Every structure is written in structure tokens, then in C-alpha cells.
Amino acid sequence: MTLFTFNFSVCCPAHCLSCFRDPVTLLVIHILLAFLLLVAVLGVLLSAPPGDVTRGEKSLGVLYTVYGVTTIAYALIVQVADAASGYKAGIVFADYVILTYLCFFNRWFRNKIIGLYIRIQKE
């Protein structure tokens, strides 16, 4: 007996969001977001005190892009999920608050995103 089954035939390109209807998938995705929030908060608490950093237009553009893509992705996942019915507005609001904090107010997470972008640009 398995906890859940994943039907790959349902998740084809024509129905790419249908695999997110599963309540376990919705739960796993939000647990990952909560874990990322926890790691980011611990990263700030355990890192050196902040210096004076002014972000340039390019790095702010990267942060805005990451924020836009992730908020749209999480909103779509919640809208498609059957398990979120009745709670969709609250879940989307909580996701937006967490993603706003991560992308614009958590220096550790911002630095990781910018570092990843720089590493991708070098390759």
C-alpha cells in the first residue's frame, strides 16, 4: 500500500498543471517554502552583520524577475489545487508575504539569488 500515487500520463504538456491538483503535492510545495523561509532566517541570524550595500539596476531586475515568477507559480499552483478550496485567498496571501520577505527583505536570500545569477552568467 502506498501513501499516494503519481500518474505521469495525467501530467503531460497539454495539462501541465493537472499534477498539482494532488493535495500531497500542494503540501510538499508549501513545506519546501516554509523550509526555505526557515533556512533564510537562520542564514541572516548566523551571518556577519550587514554592510552598506546598494543594489544596481541589474541585480534588482533579477530579484524582481525571481519574485514575479515565483509568486505567479505559487498562485497558479494554489488556484489549480482542489485541496485548497475555501482557503485559496489566504494561502496565496501567505505565499506572497513569505516570497516578498525572501526576495526584498532577507539579505541572505537576496545574496544567494544574485550569486546564483552571477554563476549562471559565467557559464
Q: How many domains does the chain have?
A: 1
Q: What angle do CA 70, 75, 80 make, to 5 degrees?
A: 130
Range of the domain at 91: 15-40+68-122
What's the mean pLDDT in 31-37?
A: 95
- d(CA 83, CA 36) in angstroms, rounded, equals 22
Residue 65 vs residues 62, 68, 69, 96, 117: alpha-carbon distances, Å: 5, 5, 6, 14, 11
Which DSSP symbol is given to 105? I
Q: What is the pLDDT of residue 34?
A: 96
What confidence tens digit (pLDDT) does each residue in 50-84 have?
666 667 788 889 999 999 999 999 999 898 888 88
CA dihedral 55, 59, 61, 67 (to 10 degrees): -100
User: Could you tell me if residue 8 is inside a domain?
Assistant: no
User: Could you tell me if residue 81 is inside a domain?
Assistant: yes
pTM of the model: 0.76
